[in-house]
Structure 1
């Protein structure tokens, strides 16, 4: 058995070195540093809930792994838990020694991590905590703080006026969505001038489903809506489309998150009152640091823990600090490289950017 293990290790190590020398095939790999006897796998969740995964996270991760000289594979599950499981199986079979996932739900994520652990593969929760999972580390932004910023933003936008508010929450299978909503309620619930008249979650953060759900909520409220807690910019866009249909866009305060191009444009147009900026590049670099540390046999440098009540454990975490963005601070996103001014301030938005001093 010892001889067999030694031979197996030699094959894996040889494969990893070959991948490094060849640039890691189509998935990535790399030069720019001393080769490592290991490989990193990253599975992104989809391309529909947010454009960030492919436009921000992937290039930042590729750059970091190439600079470290560590072979890697980055793939996207395209919103399918079954596809994510299949990708994970393939990565484990291909010799990854560290696997990071953005789970689509905790149960499927935990199953992947259990299988990885059985093969001696270290795992990282990226952006979303896998409840009942076994990740060695968790890298994300402080989700409760994100919700608190959204709550404060909504309260500020309503300026103390007696207001009826609807909550349009993110996916019920995403622990982050729960944290965002919890944080928002911590602020909004103690604001006497605000009455929450309806609240629903949007399965899978699906913007098309959000249009239907919010229209039903708006109709049920008989249009008596002064503010909407929308959990991210995609959902905010769905809300705004219904408000436009009812000639109320710009009259109702709408929150968001992610500082997307659409979200920032809506803020400049006055149809969305705020968003929350979370630097995808900063988060991706934090993931890269943690993954590289694990591949090299060390431990990630963490700054907090996150409670997993289902798993009855505290997960070592790197929790980054989000930032509230309004029309007065849109320029901060440009300055940080979160979005391109040229991409946001185009067409009809060019004059809006100029009026905002951008």
Structure 2
């Protein structure tokens, strides 16, 4: 099912890009939208603190796709500042963007920006995070409930391998203002809640981390560990939160003994898996996500629209949003090569001196 979804959405992206190329003149500049306005696309990324992916993966992939399509573009990062996010949006709209692609910091700020863009005739795309109550014309992301399900299943697998009996499980959730964090939790709680109810697992501390802040996550997990030093498993919503928990466990000489999940397949997260300090992560092929979003954006900038073949429901806005949803992949030590083989991280980045022997043992090429 997941592979089928991935191939289907990849095909959508390819079709969109093909259409975009057709719309370009021989000189390489894209044909303008209705009214003759030159195509220009603005992208606002959320931060570089919660996850390194925004700058190391999304930015270069998006930039490469826009360059290939021959359109002007402006990619900026709000660095977690809601006021800066709105200021950047205002500047982009004033500068003449036809399309605005955003990764919201929260739905309130995102909605304000999307509504302003709509009022100015600027097309909009929610990238990676759905803005609840917003007005984006498209949503491009991964199946985020499936991401959470993979995390829950991954933790269960690792606890079984550890031979854990009625383990105490702590949950370190993402930001309460991020709809994705809600979807992740729905996915992993769908796996864990029945185990709590059946007495297979014991539900331990369960807390969200404001703004996905890794520093706050470490403080929160320190408190969790103090209240339940018998914690035997941690559902951490991404690799940054996982690393924060690992730091606390290391201080208490329990790193490697307590399975921890993650997400984003960051270099740090993969190295933690190689070292045995992290159980698994979830790999999201960001290039496919960036290519799908850029293809839609280029189409919109050229005054065209496309059918995605799928929708997601916005319960706040009471509407179905046309969507491209890609399939995530669970990554354990034995399939880290999948991430390297995709080019998402390089062997040189991953297999530094401290990890060279571990990489060899894991078959990293």
The higher-RCO structure (CA 8 Å, 6+ apart) is 2
Q: 1:206 aligns with which of 200, 213, 221?
A: 213
TM-score w.r.t. length of structure 1: 0.89
Q: Which runs of 5+ in 2 are unaligned?
A: 1-26, 33-37
Distance 2:173 2:91 in 1: 34
**Contact 2:41–2:100, Cα closer than 8 Å, also in 1:** yes
**More displaced stretch, 41-50 vs 301-310:** 301-310
Deviation at residue 198 of structure 1 after TM alignment: 1.3
Deviation at residue 253 of structure 1 after TM alignment: 0.6
Distance 2:250 2:307 in 1: 47
Which residues in structure 2 correspond to 1:52-201 (within 5 Å)? 52-159=53-160, 161=164, 162-191=166-195, 192=198, 193-201=200-208
Distance 2:243 2:250 in 1: 10
**More displaced stretch, 61-70 vs 263-272:** 61-70
Distance 1:303 1:207 in 2: 37
Deviation at residue 62 of structure 1 after TM alignment: 1.1
Cα deviation code 1:73-102 (max 9, x no counterpart): 111101111001000001111111110100
**Contact 1:232–1:258, Cα closer than 8 Å, also in 2:** yes
Deviation at residue 52 of structure 1 after TM alignment: 1.1
**Contact 2:107–2:131, Cα closer than 8 Å, also in 1:** yes
Distance 1:247 1:303 in 2: 50
Deviation at residue 206 of structure 1 after TM alignment: 0.3
- The SS at the match of 1:226 is strand
Cα deviation code 1:14-51 (max 9, x no counterpart): xxxxxxxxxxxxxxxxx845454321110011111111
Distance 2:227 2:310 in 1: 42
Q: 2:266 aligns with which of 260, 268, 280?
A: 260
Distance 2:150 2:335 in 1: 14
Q: How many residues align?
A: 327
CA RMSD of aligned residues (A): 1.1
**Contact 1:33–1:67, Cα closer than 8 Å, also in 2:** no
- The SS at the match of 1:314 is strand
Q: 1:216 aligns with which of 215, 223, 226?
A: 223
**Contact 2:29–2:70, Cα closer than 8 Å, also in 1:** yes
Q: What is the aligned partner in structure 1 of residue 281 from structure 2?
A: 275
- The SS at the match of 1:131 is coil
**Contact 2:138–2:321, Cα closer than 8 Å, also in 1:** yes
**Contact 1:45–1:78, Cα closer than 8 Å, also in 2:** yes
**Contact 1:151–1:184, Cα closer than 8 Å, also in 2:** yes
**Contact 1:290–1:301, Cα closer than 8 Å, also in 2:** no
Q: What is the aligned partner in structure 2 of residue 240 from structure 1?
A: 246
**Contact 1:289–1:300, Cα closer than 8 Å, also in 2:** no
Q: Cα distance 1:134–1:34, how it changes in 2: closer, same or farther (>3 A)?
A: closer
Cα deviation code 1:114-168 (max 9, x no counterpart): 1111111111000000001000000000110000000000000011632110000
Q: What is the aligned partner in structure 2 of residue 337 from structure 1?
A: 343
